[in-house]
Amino acid sequence: MSSVAKEWKPPGVDKVKTWIDDMRVWPNMMYGDIYNFLVESKAVDGQQMKNFKSLQSFNYFQSGNVGVTTHYINNNKTIMFKGEVRSSQTVSRTNEVFVLCNEDGSIVNGWCSCMAGQGHTCSHVGAVLWKIEHAVRNNLTGVACTDENAKWNRGTTRNVEPKPLLNIIFKKPKAGEDIMDSDEDNNIPGSRDTPMYTLDREFKEAVNSSKLLPLFSIKGTTASKSFTCKPFTKDIIQEDHGDHTALDSCGKCSNFVNKYISLTPAKVQELHMNTKGQSGSVLWKDARKIRLTASSASKVPIKETTDCSAFIREHLYPKFTGNKFTRYGNEQEPIAKKYLQSEGHNVIDHGMYVSLTENWLSASPDGIMNGDTILEVKCPFPIANKWNCLDELIANTKYDVEKIVRGFMY
């Protein structure tokens, strides 16, 4: 090996005879430690850390490219980690990575055998850091670490073999899913609980008895301000859900309804006037999320045994953003209204109508025609070789459409 190739390694690492494979003594490296090291060094992937899962370093770990990670404890109590990260360009080449950190998990430096490793914060270094952070966050370290959990360290790298497209998963894991997906049972426990305090007194007692107390004594920091600030005049009491046999049987839900959903008749009218733009109005979109609408009522699960989480997720955060059919309908709706007006009809655009008696129920018609008729405009997308005009559409019998001529329905 040339002298240039040796320079990338940390000083004295070649003198280490034995590297230890024992996760029980890994330091408590957290997200903040990685943030401080990668961001403050200003030499990562050029992307914002708040979107860290899209960083190449996290993708290396998530994709199973990080091999077994061993360590060596120096005389000054610092810990040197050693790991291998498979290259993204070819599965036959691995990069050797070293990371030096303190007992508290803070990161001192990193080294890698790749070309970018001279900057000390390449994506391969970050991949090893994410592995350590993942192990700490999921309670795979510490004195309670079992032999089964220790196997996880040797199982974070996976063989990359050709597979049929049918067997390849083209998606990123959702929040809460095990990112180290494997056919073997790794027995990975859940994330550690974060203590929550409802009383100011409980919070200060916990800090005073914690080893982190010196951090809260550093003036000017957020931790210090949270510890010394004046508490609320009223302590926040976390209210639990009650029975849901009626709308007002659960105090927590009832408070939410009274605060966000219930409207006076004057507020109902105000909401209606301020949402005339409908899909172009942010208020209209937000008001729909906390109410059942005419278009979503049929999707509500009816049976008590049906899981409603899928409906709630789609209702609050819809994935559908439109297609060629809905875009065609949006483009043709104003044309259809102008045609009705040319025929002597009075068409007025309206916003959201909220039920005066059931404020959780709403509807947004396309308009009101002649003062007493609800207008719902439908613009079917022309299909070649099937229909091109209204008469052909009616004759097709696929759509529930009827034609009225001089008061008679055909």
Q: How much of the chain exceeds pLDDT 70, in percent?
A: 74
| pLDDT tens-digit map of 216-238 | 888 888 888 888 887 765 545 55
Q: How much of the chain exceeds pLDDT 90, in percent?
A: 9
Closest CA to 98 of 75, 76, 74: 74
Query: What distance lies between CA 31 and its chain's CA centroid?
Result: 17
Residue 77, Ramachandran bin (φ over 0: left; ψ between -120 and 50: alpha; else beta): left
Q: Are 58 and 127 spatial neighbours (Cβ–Cβ below 8 Å)?
A: yes
Q: Are 216 and 207 spatial neighbours (Cβ–Cβ below 8 Å)?
A: yes
| pLDDT tens-digit map of 355-397 | 999 999 999 988 899 988 888 888 888 776 677 777 787 777 7
Q: Are 126 and 107 spatial neighbours (Cβ–Cβ below 8 Å)?
A: no
Whole-model pTM: value is 0.41
* Spans of all domains in the chain: 3-167, 195-238, 246-379
- CB count in 10 Å sphere of residue 325: 11
Phi, psi of 331 (to 5 degrees): -75, -35
For residue 324, give the H/E element and its range: helix 324-342
Measured N-to-C along each axis, helices 31-40 and 123-137 cross at an angle, to the nearest 10 degrees, of: 160
Closest CA to 363 of 373, 372, 350, 379: 350
Task: Read off the amino acid at residue 256.
Answer: F
| pLDDT tens-digit map of 95-150 | 899 999 998 888 888 888 887 766 656 888 888 998 998 888 777 776 544 555 55
Q: Which residues contact 62 (CB under 8 A, 6 or more apart)?
A: 53, 172, 173, 179
* Average confidence score pLDDT of the chain: 77
Radius of gyration (C-alpha) of the chain in whole angstroms:
31
Comparing 15 with 47, the larger pLDDT belongs to: 15
Q: Are 390 and 378 spatial neighbours (Cβ–Cβ below 8 Å)?
A: no
Average pLDDT score over residue span 84-97: 80
* CATH number for the domain running over 246-379: 3.90.320.10
Paired sense of beta strands 79-86 and 94-101, if any: antiparallel
Task: Read off the amino acid at residue 216.
Answer: F
Paired sense of beta strands 361-363 and 292-293, if any: parallel
Paired sense of beta strands 107-112 and 292-293, if any: unpaired
Say how far apart CA 400 and CA 410 lie, in whole Å. 12
- The helix/strand/coil state of 342 is helix
Paired sense of beta strands 367-369 and 373-375, if any: antiparallel
Say how far apart CA 76 and CA 249 lie, in whole Å. 62
Length of the chain: 410
